[in-house]
Amino acid sequence: MFTRSLLRIGRAASATVVESFIAADGAKAYQVPDFLVVSIGDGARLDHVRLIEDGREAFNISSAVVTLGANAHFNTFA
């Protein structure tokens, strides 16, 4: 599985995004490559929360490209 997400937060807007990655019962070794592209407009704010409950032998490899406008805020929590 390879997920790609694109988020565009407009000027002076605010949003909270919650992603969850939960392993299937009995899942063993696997890999989850995840890619996020974010554009946050001038004066906007994004709070990004990732809930990860992978298997013990799993690899969750995440990458992000974030573009911030003037006075924009990006908070990420995993």
Predicted confidence (pLDDT) at residue 26 exceeds the cutoff of 90: no
Predicted confidence (pLDDT) at residue 33 exceeds the cutoff of 90: no
Q: Is the dihedral of CA 55, 61, 65, 70 positive or negative?
A: positive
The CA distance from 24 to 76, in Å, is: 25
Q: Where are the domains of the chain?
A: 3-77
pTM of the complete model beyond 0.85:
no
Instruction: Report the mean per-residue pLDDT for the chain.
Output: 91
Task: With beta carbons less than 8 A apart as the criterion, state whether 46 and 9 touch.
Answer: yes
Predicted confidence (pLDDT) at residue 60 exceeds the cutoff of 70: yes
User: pLDDT tier at 1 (50, 70, 90 boundaries)?
Assistant: low
Cα–Cα separations (whole angstroms), residue 70 to 15, 29, 42: 17, 42, 5
